[in-house]
Structure 1
Amino acid sequence: MPFSCLKRMALGRSFLGACAALSISIAPVGLACAQEQRPPQTALTYSVFVHGLHVMNIQASYWLSDQQYGVAAQVKTTALFGLFMKTDLSMQAQGRFDGRAVEPEKFTTAGWSRRSMRRATIVYKDGMPEVSVLEPAETDREPVTQEERKGAVDVLSALIGILHQARSQQSCQGQEKLFDGLRLTTLSLQTAGTVKLPSGGPWDWGETGLRCNFVGQQVKGFHFSSDKSKLHNPQPGRVWFENIGNLGLVAVRIELDHPKLGRINVLLSSTPKQYP
């Protein structure tokens, strides 16, 4: 069923995450921090649309400083779409920054996806993601070797790294490898400058924002029986960041051109909140 690709996007591609609202009124997600004090936590809600159909909600919460970050998300299908293809996943990640580079320490995900309860934990040692938990095991996929996944990060860390660079340097240049425990995806980013925000959709924000173009492409971890012809294709997309109040730059709109689903829109659906 083609909509299963949307769950893969939520797990390990772009939004690639692309990419998490269970409700408009949200509570902050608890995240561990090695420091005694940390920056305020920001909570956001997003809605995901495919061909104009509202299919998912994303609740996200994060904090970040110049040295560290913590981020969590919950991805859940809407009630109507959930009758056909249910997803209810929670994810958390934490790590550090080394200049512009993001260095994750741990990533966890758990919940219902692809007709099964699933759980995964990835820990990072010297830039190497090691899968300590993967339930259920999927033996019908091509393996991703240690050498191939070395230096790869999880999708949440990749997203927070893009936000960190956008805030600190007003740019989003670079390349990343993403690994979710099963699939390996490459991600390239390029700054497109400050541009007019696109109109359309149920929510419009400001007039201008920082636009970043990206291209994601799965390179390993395909099902042995799958047809790679479409899933192997590059998936171009765009993200717009806008300055909102005292929160700084916030991602307000993400567009992804999926090879099977077509245009996927992820839209900020309410004003972000900040918690101490």
Structure 2
Amino acid sequence: MLLSACCLCFLVGGSARAQEASQASSPAANSAIHIKYTIYTHWFPVMKLETSFLLEQTHYNVAMQARAEGLLSIFTRLRIQSVATGAIQNDVVLPSRYDSQGLSRSAQRHVVLDYPQGQPVVTLLEPTETDREPVPDELRQRGTDILTTMAKVILTVRKTGLCDGTYDVFDGIRVSHFTLKTTGQDMKPDVFEDRKVPAMRCEFSGYQTAGFIKGHQAKALREPHGGTVWFINVDGYGPVPVRTEIDHPKVGHLTVKLDKLEKGAG
């Protein structure tokens, strides 16, 4: 849930009005954007997150790398690499495959989702997780992996200039529901200059809906939790998230700050 919330908000782009998302500030064609973030709790770094995406008229490719950092790395080993690919037709995202693997929850894990007829099917899950409640087909069929969900959000924002929307995320073992809503503008530091510029403020909330551990009530995960993310327009890239505040039911308040946006990556 933590990675889902972070990832979903880091790659959401948008401006306060649709007309501000002009072609001049859109990502260059055939160019992947690579962005690095640090996640803090009480101003101590606990996680590094790197995201890159290529979103064109006919296809998309979104990748993510996450690893524990600082104090968190003392208590848990976390290093995950994920990639999602698919097609785009008439502004509709058509996922093809999601592949995520790495060290998480004290084990090497690997999950692959394929999308025959557009619906997610788990084609690989290592190790198997027999201690979880099965995800109902109705909820699974509504969901897409987190990286494909990013592509959906980005397309919506490019088209409307707003972050508003609802999304169901299926990661192979559980489903989470997220809601995003544009709530105004603030002044935030520019990515490349020591000055403040208008930033779109987007509120989000999410909660787990299926795939709970058997016999565990998990009340905190069933209740909505969320935070705020701010975006500014970066010339040549369009809207980029520069800061995120997250209230997580297990780890408390988190702050996410942009470290680096690599121009011409890809």
- Paired residue for 1:76, among 46, 64, 67? 67
1:229 alignment partner in structure 2? 219
Q: 1:51 to 1:79 in 2, by over 3 A?
A: closer
The correspondence of residues 1-276 of structure 1 with structure 2, limited to 5 A, is: 8-10=1-3, 13-17=4-8, 39-99=30-90, 101-197=92-188, 206-275=196-265
Q: 1:153 to 1:175 in 2, by over 3 A?
A: same
Distance of 1:156 and 1:119 partners within structure 2: 16
Letter in 2 for 1:259: P
Question: Are the counterparts in 1 of residues 84 and 98 from structure 2 also a CA contact under 8 Å?
Answer: yes
Q: 1:191 to 1:100 in 2, by over 3 A?
A: farther
The TM-score normalised by the length of structure 1 is 0.81
Aligned residues: 247
Question: Are the counterparts in 1 of residues 225 and 249 from structure 2 also a CA contact under 8 Å?
Answer: yes
Could you tell me which runs of 5 or more consecutive residues in structure 1 were left unpaired when the two chains were aligned: 1-7, 21-37
Question: Are the counterparts in 2 of residues 19 and 155 from structure 1 also a CA contact under 8 Å?
Answer: no
Question: Are the counterparts in 2 of residues 127 and 151 from structure 1 also a CA contact under 8 Å?
Answer: no
Distance of 1:197 and 1:212 partners within structure 2: 13
Question: Among the aligned pairs, what percent are the same residue?
Answer: 31
Could you tell me which runs of 5 or more consecutive residues in structure 2 were left unpaired when the two chains were aligned: 12-28
Which has the higher relative contact order, 1 or 2, with Cα contacts under 8 A spaced 6 or more apart? Answer: 2
Letter in 1 for 2:104: S
**SS in structure 2 at match of 1:150:** helix
Question: Are the counterparts in 1 of residues 9 and 241 from structure 2 also a CA contact under 8 Å?
Answer: no
1:35 alignment partner in structure 2? none
Backbone CA RMSD of aligned residues: 2.4
**SS in structure 1 at match of 2:63:** strand
Distance of 1:174 and 1:99 partners within structure 2: 18
- By how many angstroms is 1:239 displaced? 1.9
